Structure 1
Amino acid sequence: MTAPPRFLLTLPTTGPDADPAPLPEFLTDTRRGRYGAFDAIGEVGRAAEVVGFDGVVAPFAPDAEEPLVVVAGLLRRNRWIHGVAGLHPGIGTPVYSAKLSASLQRFTGDRFGWWPVVDLPPATARAHGDFLEGPDRYARADEFLTIAKGVWEHEDFTYEGRFFQVLAGGFQGPLAGRRFPAVHLSGVSADALELSAKHADVHVFDASDDLDALIADLGGRAAERGRTVASALRLTVAAREDEDEARAVQNVPEHALTGSFEQVAAELRGYADRGVSTFVLEPPPDVAEIYRLGEQLLPLFVREHAHVD
C-alpha cells in the first residue's frame, strides 16, 4: 500500500478575512488590542494541527501578511504541524534568507519550508523593488537556491554569479546541521519545470493545468539529474454532508472542488492515482471549515486510499 498523501492548508492571510471583526463571541477580555489579526490566523493554524493537517501555507501576495512572520509565529505555537512560507528571491539575499531559516529550523524542530515565488506579475514585482523580467527571474532563483543550499551545507562556500556573489560563506556553530527547508515551487513553463527539477522537493500545480503531461515532463527532467520531485495540487474546496449544501457555501469560486465529503474524497483519490502526493487545500476562511475537513474529509480519504491500494 502506498503512503496516503499529505494535506496542506492555505492560511487566510490576504484581505479583510485576516482582520477579525467583530470580536469572537467566546472572547471575555474585550480591551483594545487583546485580539488581533494574528490571533485569527493562529486559530486556523491551531485547528489545522488539531484535526490532522500535515502543514500550513502562508502565500506570498502583495496584500497579504508577511509569510515568514506568520509561519514563524504559528510554528512556535504548535508542536507538530509544518509551515511553508512564500518568499520572493529578489527581495533578500540568499545567505540572509538561509540564516533566518536556519534559526527557524532550530526553534521549530525542522518544520519550516520555502515557497519561492519566481514569476510575479510585473506590476507586483516592481512595487516590491524588482524590475527583473523574463527568463532572468528563473536564472536568479537558480542562483538564490544554489547559494542558500551552498552556505547551508558547507562552511567555506564561494559562488560568483550574475545576480549574487558569496566569498567563503557558510554556517557554523548553532546554525549548522539543520535540515534545509523543503522547497516548494510552481509554474508550468519550461523554465519553471527545469528550476524544480534542479531544486524543488515539491512542485505545486493548479487544477486547470495539463496535469498528466506536466507531471511526466517534470519527472523526466528530475530523473535526468538523478532526483525525484513530488507533485502537489492546489485546490479551492468546499465539502459538506451533501452536494447541495456544499454548493450553497458563500464566497466559493465556481471552479472550486465542491461536493459531499465522499465526492470530494473520490476526486482527491483520482488525483492521487495520477501522481499527486500533496494537496494544498484552500477552504473558506473559517475555523469551522477546518474542523469539517479534518473530521469528515481527511479520515474518509485516508480510508478510501487504503482500501484501493
Structure 2
Amino acid sequence: MSLTFHWFLPTNGDSRHVVGGGHGVPTGAAGGQRHATLAYLAQIGRAAEQLGFVGALTPTGAWCEDAWLTTAMLSRETERLKFLVAFRPGFVVPTLAAQMAATFQRHTQGRLLLNVVTGGESHEQRAYGDFLDKDARYARTDEFLQIVRQLWEGKSVDFSGTHLSVEQAQLSRLPEPVPPIYFGGSSPAAGEVAARRSDVYLTWGEPPEQVAAKVAWIRELAQRHGRNVRFGIRLHVISRDTSAHAWAEAQRLLDGFDPQDVRAVQEGLARSESEGQRRMLALHGGRADRLEVSPNLWAGIGLVRGGAGTALVGSHAEVAERITEYHRSGIDEFVLSGYPHLEEAYWFGEGVLPLLTQAGLWSHPESDREEPAPEVPFAAGLPR
C-alpha cells in the first residue's frame, strides 16, 4: 500500500518563524508574517499538488480563517488537490453539514476530506455558544456522525438523541464519493467515537512506540464494532540535504522564541482540557534543553504553539527512515507542515518523497502522466 501525504494550509498566516495560535493560545508570530491571502494559499496549494501531496489540511478555530469558505475558493486554483476541511460538529447542524459536504463534492469533483474536531477547550466553545462539557461534546459528535452517515447513505432519518434530533431528514443529492472522516483524540471518549465513526484516526506526532500503542488501542476498539480504521499522523517537518543543516534550521527557529512568550504559552496550554495536548506537553515539560524526544523527533514547535508540537528534523534520508518507522507502527497517512509552508513543501517533496519512491513506499498520484526528463541539448556529441 502506497503511503499518502497531505500538506497544510496556514489560514492563520505564515512566516519564516513559528506562527503560534490555536488551542486557546493567542495568535502571534516570532517574526514577520505572510498574510493568509487567497493568492498565497493558492501558491502553497499548487506547490503541494505538483509535488504529489494528495490533500491539504485546513484548520478550524477563532485563530484562523473559516475552512469551508477558504477551501471552496481555493478549489478553483488547483486541479487535483483534495482539502481536509477541519470543522466542529457542534457549530453546524448535521443535516446542513451533510448537505454542505455533498455540494462540495459535486462542485469539486470529489475533492473533500473531513477532519471532525470535537473541540478540546470549553472557553473557546462557549465563545461560539456551545456550553457542553468535554465528554458531552464527544457524545454529541457520535450522534452527529451517526445522522450524517445515514443521510449520505440516502436514508430518510428520524433521530432523537440526548443532544441532537432530526425528523424526516433527507438529502436530495448524495455526495459522490462519500468523503472520508478523519478524527483524532487521545481520551477514552474520543477513542470510542473514533472506533465507531471514523475512517482515518489521526494522532499528533508522539514517539513511534507511543504511536504504535495508540494504533493498537483504536484498532482493538474498532474491531469490537466490526470495523477497520486507517491511521494517520500530524507532524511538522524540517528536512535538508544534511542533518547538520536541518538541525541548524531547528535551532534558528528556537532562537526566535521569546522566553516570555514560551512561558505564557506553556501556562495557557497547561490549562487545556485536551488529553492530546497534555501528552504533547509531557514530551518536553516546557524545557528547551531536551527537545529531541526521540531520534529526529523535535518537540520545539510545541513551546510556542498549541496542537501538533513536534517536527521530524534531519537529512532527507533520516526523515525518510523515521517515516518508514512510523509506517511500521501502523501509520499510512502523513499530514505535514513546516515554516514557511511554501518552501518546506519543496524541501520535503523534492528531498524525501523520491527516497520513499525508491523504497517502494510512495508514488506520485500522477506518476502515469509524468513526462520524461528532457535531454540535455547537444549531449550526444559531447566527449565521454
User: In the TM superposition, what whole-angstrom CA distance separates every residue of 1:38-83 from its partner, at most 9, and x where no partner exists?
Assistant: 2111110111001100110001132111111122222232221111
306 and 68 in structure 1: CA distance in 2 versus 1, 3 angstrom threshold: closer
- Structure-2 residue corresponding to 1:294: 349
Q: Deviations over 1:81-116 (max 9, x none)?
A: 111111011111011111111100001111101111
Matched with 2:282 is none
C-alpha RMSD of matched pairs (Å): 2.3
Task: Please say if residues 269 and 305 of structure 1, whose CA atoms lie closer than 8 Å, have aligned partners that are also in contact.
Answer: no
- Tell me the distance in 2 between the aligned counterparts of 1:23 and 1:133: 35
Find the residue that maps to 1:281 and give its secondary structure.
Answer: strand
Of 253, 266, 272, which residue of structure 1 is paired with 2:321?
266
**Aligned equivalents of 2:327 and 2:10: distance in 1?**
25
Q: Is residue 221 of structure 1 aligned with residue 221 of structure 2?
A: yes
CA 22–216 in structure 1, closer or farther in 2 if over 3 Å, else same: closer
- With 131-140 and 288-297 compared, the bigger mean Cα shift is at 288-297
Map 1:9-158 → 2, pairs under 5 A: 9-15=7-13, 17=15, 37-158=37-158
Gaps of 5+ in 1: 25-34
- Bigger Cα displacement from structure 2, 274-283 vs 202-211: 202-211
Identity of aligned residues (%): 30
SS in 2 for 1:248: helix
Tell me whether 1:232 sits opposite 2:222 in the alignment: no
Check whether the contact 2:12–2:36 (CA below 8 A) recurs between aligned residues.
no
Structure with more relative contact order (C-alpha pairs < 8 Å, separation 6 or more): 2
Q: 1:306 to 1:84 in 2, by over 3 A?
A: closer
Mapped to 2, the partners of 1:232 and 1:195 lie a distance apart of: 16
Flag structure 2 segments of 5+ consecutive residues without an equivalent: 20-30, 255-298, 301-309, 363-384
Q: Is the 8 A contact 2:205 2:311 kept in 1?
A: no
TM-score scaled by structure 1? 0.88
Between the aligned partners of 1:70 and 1:177, the Cα distance in structure 2 is 20
The SS at the match of 2:91 is coil
Corresponding position of 1:32: none
User: Mapping of 1:268-283 within 5 angstroms?
Assistant: 268-283=323-338
Compared with structure 1, are the counterparts of its residues 89 and 23 closer, same or farther at alpha carbon in structure 2 (3 Å cutoff)? Answer: closer
Within a 5 Å distance, the mapping from 1:242-261 to structure 2 comes to: 242-249=242-249, 250-251=252-253, 254=300, 255-261=310-316
Structure 1 match to 2:194: 196
Structure 1 residue identity aligned to 2:200: V
Given the superposition, is the C-alpha separation of residues 247 and 228 from structure 1 closer, same or farther in structure 2, using an over 3 Å criterion?
same
Return closer, same or farther for 1:177/1:60 CA change in 2, 3 Å cut-off. closer
Instruction: Report if aligned partners of 2:237, 2:313 keep a CA contact under 8 Å in 1.
Output: yes
Displacement of 1:16: 5.7
Work out the number of aligned pairs and report it: 291
Cα 1:266/1:200, change in 2 over 3 Å: same
AA matched with 1:40: Y
Task: Answer whether contact 1:251 1:284 (CA < 8 A) is retained.
Answer: no
Work out the CA distance in 2 between the residues paired with 1:283 and 1:299. Answer: 19
- Cα distance between partner residues in 1 of 2:341 and 2:149: 37
- Which region of structure 1 is more displaced relative to structure 2, 7-16 or 185-194? 7-16
Kept after mapping to 1: 8 A contact 2:233/2:333:
yes
Indicate how the Cα distance of structure 1 residues 36 and 88 shifts in structure 2: closer, same or farther if over 3 A, else same: closer
Structure 2 CA distance for aligned equivalents of residues 92 and 241 of structure 1: 45
